[in-house]
């Protein structure tokens, strides 16, 4: 399928799927619900601040009240300070059903804790049609425990762009026409959680969680969503008012957004200086040649 034909097909799907484009500017009471944790997740400061905590009894997590099919989602996070080894804090989009579902879609930010003074590992991945194994990992150019920083997922029919403080760190492109699955038909919720992964998270599980440092707490603020919200009830898509692409472009620039030359230069800078793992370069994992999407531009 040509890229133009594929775009028209996706655009038609949006109109037919009863989507509504909305902008949410982050009151957690309105936008999310604590999903699990038995009191370890809390919303306070009149809905402006949220915390998730982990101790030896339980972690915690929240999910968005809405599902989205394409959008830009931003949240500010301040990660667990000090000795956070063994902990994982997440911010991700996921379709319904378990990760083992053969049709599962997911877009991941995961923050792997470390010993005091050692850098967090920022882990990214993309799942489409149940297929993941597209990991890229980074160390950050700042201490993510000292202040709030903004982490963003921009997901449109042609790109998934991961951003940190509005600096792109990764661009996963739609090469579905070349046989590389891309998440583009299933709505997804946003999730975040903190949990114990001492068996693998820090240096392959060599460093265990020090429960004397618990509770481990991450904080969230300024959850902003500019997205197409999925509704199962009848309606028409205001993502494309009057089915006009011109109107779509003027109201939802993210839907057509791609990186310009300056953005690519910033991404290459991050990848050159701070990327610590790229599945595309793992010759031991792929001795017969790189995955197809790694050979495409």
Active site residues: 106, 110
d(CA 20, CA 252): 11
DSSP 113-174: --STTSPPEEEEEEEBTTB----EEE--SS-TTTS-EEEEEEE-SSEEEEEETTEEEEEEE-
Structure-token pair, residue 187: 């709505």
The verdict on whether omega for the bond into residue 215 sits within 30 degrees of 0, i.e. cis, is yes
Only one residue has tokens 């997804």, namely: 188
Three-state SS at 247? helix
Three-state SS at 58? coil
**The dihedral sign for the CA sequence 92, 94, 100, 103:** negative
d(CA 97, CA 17): 20
CB 151 within 8 A of CB 75: yes
Q: Could you tell me what percentage of the chain is helix, strand and coil, using 3-state DSSP and rounding each to the nearest 5?
A: 20, 40, 40
Q: Using alpha carbons, list the distances in angstroms from residue 277 to 14, 26, 135, 138.
A: 35, 33, 8, 7
Beta strands 87-94 and 167-173: pairing type? unpaired
Beta strands 60-64 and 189-196: pairing type? antiparallel
């Amino acid at each position: 399928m040509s890229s133009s034909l594929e775009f028209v097909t996706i655009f038609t799907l949006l109109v037919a799927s009863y989507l509504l484009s909305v902008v949410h500017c982050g009151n957690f009471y309105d936008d999310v619900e604590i999903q699990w944790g038995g009191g370890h997740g809390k919303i306070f400061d009149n809905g402006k601040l949220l915390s998730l905590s982990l101790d030896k009894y339980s972690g915690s997590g929240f999910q968005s009240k809405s599902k989205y099919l394409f959008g830009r989602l931003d949240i500010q996070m301040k990660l667990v300070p000090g000795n956070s080894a063994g902990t994982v804090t997440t911010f991700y989009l996921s379709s319904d059903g378990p990760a083992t579902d053969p049709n599962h879609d997911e877009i991941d930010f995961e923050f792997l804790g470390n010993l005091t003074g050692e850098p967090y590992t920022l882990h990214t991945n993309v799942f489409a049609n149940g297929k993941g194994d597209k990991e890229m990992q980074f160390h950050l150019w700042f201490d993510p425990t000292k202040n709030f920083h903004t982490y963003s997922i921009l997901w449109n029919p042609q790109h998934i762009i991961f951003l940190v403080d509005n600096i792109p760190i990764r661009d996963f492109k739609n090469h579905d026409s070349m046989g590389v699955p891309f998440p583009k038909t299933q709505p997804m919720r946003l999730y975040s959680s903190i949990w114990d992964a001492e068996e693998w998270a820090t240096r392959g599980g060599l460093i265990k969680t020090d429960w004397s440092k618990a509770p481990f707490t991450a904080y969230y603020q300024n959850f902003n969503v500019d997205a197409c919200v999925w509704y199962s009830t009848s309606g028409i898509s205001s993502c494309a008012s009057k089915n006009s692409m011109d109107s779509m472009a003027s109201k939802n620039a993210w839907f057509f957004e791609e990186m310009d030359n300056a953005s690519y230069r910033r991404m290459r800078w991050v990848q050159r200086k701070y990327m610590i793992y790229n599945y595309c370069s793992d010759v031991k994992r792929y001795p017969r040649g790189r995955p197809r999407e790694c050979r495409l531009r």
